[in-house]
Amino acid sequence: MSRTDLIADAFTIIRNATRAYKEEVFIPYSNILSKICQILKEHEYIENFKEAETKSFKQIKVYLKYDGKKSLISQIKKVSRPSRRIYKKKDENFSVLGGYGLSIISTSKGIFTDKQVKKEGLGGEVIAMVW
């Protein structure tokens, strides 16, 4: 099976797993998804993640985080699509829900959050929004 957008597929897997109250989930491996999982862990949206080697390919095992029965990820959305890229300049606002959410932005220096991009004075492609 050929996948054209690994990030959107991974977000759908995570979204479905949180709605089904799963403790852990496997998503396809890529360097970008690994960095996104690291950002989600730093901001306490997921418990942990690790690379898992299966027979034919690598995957990322994501341990989801809950507060009682409520997932800490209320919504996870892919903003830029292969057919429609969304870019923001360094002067434009990146915040989600007035700062309560998190934007993940791909810049020329790497993948950062909205607060890091504002601090560094960078612009880039908005990959995702999480709240």
Which residues 6+ apart lie within 8 Å of 4 measured at CB?
82
Instruction: Report how far residue 103's alpha carbon sits from residue 52's, in angstroms, rounded to the nearest whole number.
Output: 26
Give tens-digit pLDDT for 36-60. Answer: 999 999 999 999 999 999 888 899 9
Instruction: Write down the mean pLDDT value for the chain.
Output: 92
Closest-CA residue to 84 (of 5, 2, 1, 3): 5
Q: What is the DSSP letter of 55?
A: S
Confidence tier at 98 by pLDDT (50, 70, 90): confident
Structural domains present in the chain: 6-71 (3.30.1370.30), 79-130 (3.30.1490.10)
How much is the pTM?
A: 0.90
